[in-house]
Amino acid sequence: MARGLDSILAGGAVLALMELALVLGLRARRRSVLATAAVWRGPQHPELADATAAWPGVAPWADHEFADAARRLRLDADAAATQLVAAQLQLLSLHEVLRGFAAEPGPDRIVDALLRHCRGRCGAVEVRCYLPAGPGRLLQRRLDLRGGDAAPDQLEMDRPAAGGLASVLDGGASLLIGDPGRHPLVPGEAARPDEGYMAAPLGGAVRGEVRGALVVFGSVGHGGLAEGTRVWLEALGQAAGAVLENAELYRRLNAEHALRDGILNNLASGLLAFGARGQPLFHNRAARELLGLDEAAVARLTPAGLCPDLARPASLLAAVAAGRSALASAETALVCPGRPPLMVRLTLAALPQPEGGGRGLMCVFDDLTARRAMEDQIRQLDKLAAIGRFTSSLAHEIRNPLAGIAAGIDYLRRDGRLGDEQREYIRIISQEIERLDRIIRHLFTVARPGYLMIRRISLAPACERVLATLGPAAAQKRVTIAIALAGEWPELECDEDQVQQVLLNLIKNAVEAEAEGGEVRVQVGAGTREGEGLAPPGAEAAGLVVLVENGGETIAADERERIFEPFYSRKPGGTGLGLFVSYNIVKQHGGLLVPVDSPPGRTRFRLFLPWTQPRNLEVA
């Protein structure tokens, strides 16, 4: 819009220079006439004294006819000079007016400023501006001053096929009408006594194009609408039309930018664009949220710093970065400063730069966390289904014969003729029978996880029962179980028996893994779902957190993904079902059970249970 305004003002300056040259030419012609008239001076024409008094140095004329011509020439020259000076002042005034129009924030404000300027410039009683509003339609913006100062109003109307307005819009020429009754602006519009109108086209960027019309109503003649005002209105219409067109283009451009930014910022995928030198050009909201970065941190990113795979020559992504390929997609890890790497599906595309500026990169990435969680859930369900089928088979093929074997062994144990060696064999057989029966019970628990009996309770009684159950085994190894409770046991909604089973499995595993004479530490308090420990005092918490820590071998990073799988155990003779069962119970409660970082030679599990359960949770 500024460039179009500068072109208009430059044209006005050229016109002002041309008019100044004309004034100087007329003045030179007047001096020539005066010099010629001096030749005719003489005392025989005293009646010319008054005519020459205004021009010093001119003697009486010798010829009356030439004297009259000189007088008229002098008056015309003065009038022309006055009009040209006034025109030049008008152009300078128009220059400032257009600057004011261009400073308005939008087309509507520009039109209102145009209407008010016309009111003050020519004393009009009504000013109208007509602009296109679609095929065959016009938008009329009007400022009516007959009843005093008022705000502009507007209405939408059909484009007239006849009348003064149609002539201006179709022909592109201005009109000065003194009798609107005979030549109405719009057919059927009532004329007002002693009022005429002047209409001028609003020009466009293309020469000869008409975008609309500017109309002023008022008295026609001296002091009102006249030919001088018509010239001014034509110039104003052409200039204002270009300003309005630029403002409309600017508005459309902003609307397109807002639409583009709205679409890109509402994408679920992250989007980053880099220039040929690796500088960030654009990013959307999803990119900031997925990477956990603010505007300033994103501005410091580079493609290689974001995706280390770009530095590996064999990578498909590196081929795009090197210019050997235009498009590639792969699963990779993005570096997030201050956070763990983010696993994503990254699509990399070449981004040509304008004016031969090389090739940039456009990165589109999707977080795979939810997808991986869904895949894990599907694998878990597949495992449960397989275990369920396996358990049904075990119930028929093993449990019934196992019951008969247990009964027979119990009968033999009561035989008083058995020696110590035979009794030891019978004891070992009984232990193995109990172990097999325990495995089958675990399998039934996994295959048919039962409904939750949700109640709002404190877990203090459940923890006491767990300690009482594990007391003999801990005493046998001289292992101390230390409970560190931050305040009172908080209440939460859960299935007490199921959560007691989880606590029993965790603390029992800790006691069995602890060295003889060692200590198992249990910390209880409030906390959040994510994190390593308890929430600080006074901080907002989302649920109960229990930390169970024991000595022994630290869980390796590659083992953390397998530790909750069925039949995977790190201790000799373990079934590999305790943690699997516990994990599913916690998951049913909407909680989280994970191994967390611990000092070397220690193992720590973190249990999180939310304060409340969903209202639609099915309970028995």
Q: Are 474 and 481 in contact (CB under 8 A)?
A: yes
Contact, 31 vs 55, CB < 8 A? no
Please report the pLDDT score of residue 103 as a whole number: 59
pTM over 0.85: no
Query: Are 131 and 139 within 8 A, CB to CB?
Result: yes
Interacting residues of 228 by C-beta distance below 8 A, sequence separation 6+:
83, 86
Give the tens place of pLDDT for each residue, 250-304: 888 888 888 888 888 888 899 999 988 888 988 999 999 888 888 888 888 888 8
Determine the pLDDT at residue 608: 93
Residue in 121, 126, 123, 101 with CA at minimum distance from that of residue 112: 101
The span from the CA of 539 to the CA of 610, in Å, is 16
Give the pLDDT score at 452.
Answer: 78
What amino acid occupies position 280? P
- Contact between 18 and 249 under an 8 Å Cβ cutoff? The reply is no
Token pair 């100062």 is found at 149
Give the per-residue pLDDT at 102: 58
Cα 586 to Cα 591: distance, rounded to the nearest angstrom: 5
Report the C-alpha gap between 109 and 244 in whole angstroms. 10
Distance CA 7, CA 231 (A): 20
**Which residue carries 């210019």 as its tokens?**
323
- pLDDT, position 41: 47
User: What's at 74, amino acid-wise?
Assistant: R
Q: What is the largest CA-CA distance in the chain?
A: 180
Residue with tokens 């048919």: 448
Beta-bridged to residue 365, according to DSSP, are: 270, 346
pLDDT at residue number 522: 92
Residue 108, Cβ neighbours under 10 Å: how many?
16
- Nearest 5 degrees, angle CA 235-CA 238-CA 240? 100
Report the distance separating Cα 234 and Cα 243, nearest Å: 14
Closest CA to 85 of 230, 237, 228: 228
pLDDT at 260: 86
Q: How far apart are CA 344 and CA 265, in angstroms?
A: 18
| CA-to-CA dists, residue 426 to 82, 399, 402, 417, 423, angstroms | 133, 19, 14, 13, 5
Q: How many residues does the chain have?
A: 620
pLDDT of the residue at 295: 87
What span, in angstroms and rounded, lies between the C-alpha atoms of 64 and 48?
A: 8
Question: What are 218's strand-pairing partners?
Answer: 196
Amino acid identity at 481: I
Percent of the chain at pLDDT > 70 equals: 73
Contact 498, 538 (CB under 8 A): no
Give the helix/strand (H/E) hosting 363.
Answer: strand 359-367
424-461 burial, b if ≥16 CB within 10 A, otherwise e?
A: eebeebbeebeebeebbebbbbbbeeeebebeebebee
Q: Which domains does the chain have, with CATH numbers?
A: 270-367 (3.30.450.20), 372-447 (1.10.287), 454-610 (3.30.565.10)
What is the sign, positive or negative, of the torsion defined by CA atoms of 111, 114, 120, 125?
negative
457-460-465 Cα angle (round to 5): 115
| Collapsed DSSP state (helix, strand, coil) of residue 485 | strand
Residue numbers of the chain with a pLDDT score lower than 50: 1-16, 39-42, 44-45, 47-63, 85-89, 91-92, 618-620
Task: Count the helices and strands in the chain (H runs, E runs).
Answer: 16, 18
Closest to 67 measured CA to CA, from 78, 55, 79: 55
How far apart CA 295 and CA 131 sit, in angstroms, is 42
Three-class SS state of 106? coil
Q: What is the 3-state secondary structure (H, E, C) of 188-238?
A: CCCCCCCCEEEEEEEECCCCCCEEEEEEEEECECCCCECHHHHHHHHHHHH
